[in-house]
Amino acid sequence: MPLLFLVFFLRTLSEPGCVYEKTMAEQGLFEVQQAIPGILVQLKYATPDNFMHKNVYGCLQKAYLQKEVVARLKKAQDYLSANHPGYHFLIYDATRPLAKQWDLWNALPQYPPKLRSNYVANPVEHSIHNYGSAVDLTVADEQGRPLEMGTPFDYFGEMAYPSREKALLASGKLSKEAYQNRLILRQAMVHGGFMPIQYEWWHFNAFSRAEAKRRFAVLK
């Protein structure tokens, strides 16, 4: 019997898997690609293609969200596919552990805290991403290529502000194609029950921060 116990113990130690992904599954979050067929995921903070130019997420490679948020995303993707056959969502970020929120916050010392919080939520107050209730995403075509949106993901500045789109279109800074592609993304997400924000075209909340705090535990 002790030998059997030892075998189990060693198997647990060597079990493959990511501690963040395990924790999220244990806390009842859903893995998005399992739940929504056809949705694409490339977590930007799990690659060097982000404003920090390094993999911040380590082993965290999959998108997890709260069950209710996945249901809304499914509704949004169904709407997108029905209205624009061949188009899919491409997820750039989903649930973000609080420890990673600190990494992002500390990577932008050039911005004073008040301005910084336009781009990265202050970890002291928590981001809605820390509750599995926000998602960053774009729309990809039949080949999985992201559509033109006027800026890359995590562009810090006015060109990424949905609140400035009409003015940027009028002045010729934002192309008509990018403007319309943003509308395609936003219409589908709003149909699914998400709320856009004014500073990032790619970010959508399923719940307000207060509501997310009330309903869910923060992912540490």
Q: Which is nearer to Zn ion, 169 or 195 (CB)?
A: 195
User: Which one among 32, 92, 136, 219 touches Zn ion, defined by CB under 5 A?
Assistant: 136
For residue 165, state whether it binds Zn ion (rule: CB under 5 A).
no
Contact call for residues 44 and 50 (beta carbons, < 8 A): yes
Q: Which is nearer to Zn ion, 49 or 81 (CB)?
A: 49
User: How far, rounded to the nearest angstrom, does the alpha carbon of residue 68 sit from its chain's CA centroid?
Assistant: 15
Contact call for residues 101 and 130 (beta carbons, < 8 A): yes
Q: Which stretch binds Zn ion (CB under 5 A): 40-48, 59-67, 112-120, 200-208?
A: 200-208
Q: Which is nearer to Zn ion, 62 or 203 (CB)?
A: 203
H-helix segments, the chain? 2-14, 19-26, 32-35, 67-83, 98-106, 113-119, 165-170, 176-192, 209-215
Q: Which stretch binds Zn ion (CB under 5 A): 49-57, 128-136, 147-155, 175-183?
A: 128-136
CB of 50 to Zn ion, least distance (A): 12
Amino acid type, 32: V
Spatial distance between the Cα atoms of 161 and 140, rounded to a whole number of angstroms: 20
Question: Cβ atoms within 10 A of the Cβ of 6, count?
Answer: 10
154 Cβ neighbours under 8 A, 6+ residues apart? 44, 50, 51, 119, 200, 202
For residue 203, state whether it binds Zn ion (rule: CB under 5 A).
yes
CB of 89 to Zn ion, least distance (A): 14
CB of 142 to Zn ion, least distance (A): 26
CB of 86 to Zn ion, least distance (A): 26
For residue 154, state whether it binds Zn ion (rule: CB under 5 A).
no
Query: Could you list the residues that contact Zn ion (CB under 5 A)?
Result: 136, 203
